[in-house]
Structure 1
Amino acid sequence: MANCNHDCESCSASCGERQDPASFKKPAHKESHIKKVIGIVSGKGGVGKSMVTSLLAMALCRAGKQVAILDADVTGPSIPKTFGLHGQALMTDRGVFPMETRMGIKVMSINLLLQNETDPVVWRGPIIAGAIQQFWTDVIYGDVDFLLVDMPPGTGDVPLTVFQTMPVDGIIVVASPQELVGMIVEKACNMAKMMDVPVLSIVENFSYFKCPDCGKEHSIFGKSRLAETAAAHGVVCQDKLPVDPLLAEAVDNGKLEEANVPALPQTTELLLKML
């Protein structure tokens, strides 16, 4: 601290110059009334975190809940494409209005603010973190049961900004079978623990491939370690997602809501019980 005459890093928690993490929390827009904020995280990219976010949003919406998605992956946004959303969000003097999918899921993403959705976002970490904070404070989500935050991979600026700025009620960790035997999932879980945020569920994506001819399931990325990994972190809730080419095609075409999508029954049920 600028005015300290001692080592702040080693002082007691009672030091008047130190701020409690809770003091960084920012209020949502005055016209936003959000009951639960859930973060969807991963230790690395390419594991289907945005897919899990989208599937959960659809499952909660079908259960009669009002759902919004905050796409916090600023440099690699994929939520708008998943739902076939194009164009720009409405910006007014009151605030920014998110776009809505066919099912009524509200979506806020950097791609909905760019002049051209293929323009790259070449920003440094602090600028990205500031944008994420504005997605929370300046966007009018209205009455929402669940705000799902699709975070970028890792434990850097953006996840830290989300944890410190928003009242996150819990996180869902997404991983592939290979990562469940390593340290990547443990890093995500340990970050949540450091920020005093509970790990609600672990979702294993690419868990198996079901043969369309014989119906047999094949673990093409290795034996599932989901149960033992969840147990090691005291996480009871867990779900598996298969490798599904038809699901990937639906995402590429922006028609996920029209596809026959797999369920995340345990995770969905747990979230519904939180209300």
Structure 2
Amino acid sequence: MEIFKNKNKTKPTISQEKILEKLQNIKYPGYSRDIVSFGMVKQVEILDNNSVKVILDIRTQDSKIKETIVKEVKHVISAIPEVNNVNVEVQQTGATGEKAQTIRPKLLSQIKHKIAIASGKGGVGKTTVAVNLALALAKKGTKVGLFDADIYGPNVPIMLGLSAARPGIQNNKMIPLEKHGIQVMSIGFLLPEKETAVIWRGPLVSKAIEQLMTEVAWAELDYFIIDLPPGTGDAQLSISQLLELSGAIIVATPQDVALADAVKGVSMFQKVHVPIIGIIENMSYFICPHCHQRTEIFSHGGAKGICRQLGVPFLGEIPLDPEIRIGSDQGTPVVIEKPDSPQTKAFMEVAEQIMQKTKH
């Protein structure tokens, strides 16, 4: 789409580049990125008498966020001395470019509960937790889908032993793979080699996530577990805009640096009005298999303290254990490989809490 249009019959005294430069100072609420880099500025027109019209594509159903962005756009452009009038128009476009309704329908309406699994930083075992929680929910008799939204590091195929698998096509939609009773989809299934690096800018990430949800024939499910990439960026924003999330679960380890990032994760979801189901403390402690002595390698109890501080639920502790790591590496998660182990019990207890908190 052409961003710049000049309908001023006389020579304008302001440049469209200057307007765009000013708009780059407006951050999307709750994020460090600006509305221009997020692709929300669809068009800038300079009209007669130096009036400016800006067309925005804001894909959220949160009216407060829309109002905030529109207000800031009017403010920054009105502050340009040469501008006499500012008109801001908000529209939403679908994947094919047609104008959509003012309120965009939420995707995957056939799925009851959509839950994002997030972490403020990498290396805390978020994907391991997501995979085992999905399997634990399935073992409790619910219908579960697992969506690997970690575009840059799609590890779900490895953890489920599906690295060589490819989805089929039916009625122009991809058929999600199935393993251990859950449906699974990941961009890792679509890459030519598992070592292929995904080097994409934000808009491509957002588009890929949307396609992996809309162009996949997901069944009617009770739970849709979404493994997000670490941090607070494009994938998190896209998911919160496209889906009506039942809530988010933050995975953290006990050390201070991970907990500090977990707080940022909670703050991000709260700013986009996604409920926090709770925080899980992963790698909480280690039990020596020889002497059975408990060692708190990364400290202990930090996540529970953060939960008290933030007023969010604490969902439980997952131990640091070689069996969990071995199962993930071999494609047989511990919940499946060792169903009677203490590690599996920990995941099952968290799954039970999730089911209780999503009852309605």
| Structure 1 stretches lacking a partner, 5+ long | none
Alignment partners' CA distance in 2, 1:36 and 1:184? 26
Is residue 132 of structure 2 the alignment partner of residue 55 of structure 1? yes
Q: Which residue is 1:128 aligned to?
A: 205
Q: Which residue is 1:141 aligned to?
A: 218
**How much does 1:48 deviate?**
0.4
Query: Greater RCO between the two (CA within 8 Å, min separation 6)?
Result: 1
Deviations 1:239-263 (CA, angstroms, capped at 9, x unpaired): 1111111211111111112234432
Q: CA RMSD in A?
A: 2.5
- The one-letter code matched in structure 2 to 1:130 is K
The alignment-based identity, stated in percent, is 35
Q: Which residue is 2:243 aligned to?
A: 166
Q: Which residue is 1:17 aligned to?
A: 89
Given the superposition, is the C-alpha separation of residues 177 and 237 from structure 1 closer, same or farther in structure 2, using an over 3 Å criterion?
Answer: closer
**How much does 1:166 deviate?**
1.0
Which is further off, 176-185 or 52-61?
Answer: 176-185
Are the aligned partners of 2:253 and 2:259 in contact in 1 as well (CA < 8 Å)? no
Deviations 1:44-79 (CA, angstroms, capped at 9, x unpaired): 111000011011111101100010111000110111
Alignment partners' CA distance in 2, 1:19 and 1:123? 26
Deviations 1:16-71 (CA, angstroms, capped at 9, x unpaired): 73479x9455423xxx7210000000001110000110111111011000101110
- The one-letter code matched in structure 2 to 1:38 is I
Q: Which residue is 1:252 aligned to?
A: 329
Which is further off, 118-127 or 197-206?
Answer: 118-127
Matching residue within 154, 158, 177 for 1:99: 177
Are the aligned partners of 2:117 and 2:130 in contact in 1 as well (CA < 8 Å)? yes
Are the aligned partners of 1:172 and 1:202 in contact in 2 as well (CA < 8 Å)? yes
Alignment partners' CA distance in 2, 1:50 and 1:168? 18
Deviations 1:191-232 (CA, angstroms, capped at 9, x unpaired): 011011111111111110001123221101123212211111
What's the secondary structure of 2:116's corresponding residue? strand
What's the secondary structure of 1:106's corresponding residue? strand
Are the aligned partners of 2:166 and 2:189 in contact in 1 as well (CA < 8 Å)? yes
Count of residues paired in the alignment: 268
Alignment partners' CA distance in 1, 2:325 and 2:258? 25
Alignment partners' CA distance in 1, 2:137 and 2:259? 31
Given the superposition, is the C-alpha separation of residues 61 and 203 from structure 1 closer, same or farther in structure 2, using an over 3 Å criterion?
Answer: same
Are the aligned partners of 1:88 and 1:114 in contact in 2 as well (CA < 8 Å)? no
Once the two structures are superposed, the pairs formed by residues 59-208 of structure 1 within 5 Å of their partners are 59-85=136-162, 86-101=164-179, 103-179=180-256, 182-208=259-285
- The one-letter code matched in structure 2 to 1:189 is V
Is residue 358 of structure 2 the alignment partner of residue 272 of structure 1? no
Alignment partners' CA distance in 1, 2:196 and 2:304? 41
Larger Rg: 2
TM-score, normalising length: structure 2: 0.69
What's the secondary structure of 1:64's corresponding residue? coil
Are the aligned partners of 1:201 and 1:267 in contact in 2 as well (CA < 8 Å)? no
- The one-letter code matched in structure 2 to 1:195 is V
Q: Which residue is 1:232 aligned to?
A: 309
Are the aligned partners of 2:286 and 2:296 in contact in 1 as well (CA < 8 Å)? yes
TM-score, normalising length: structure 1: 0.89
Given the superposition, is the C-alpha separation of residues 83 and 139 from structure 1 closer, same or farther in structure 2, using an over 3 Å criterion?
Answer: same
Is residue 271 of structure 2 the alignment partner of residue 214 of structure 1? no
**How much does 1:91 deviate?**
2.4
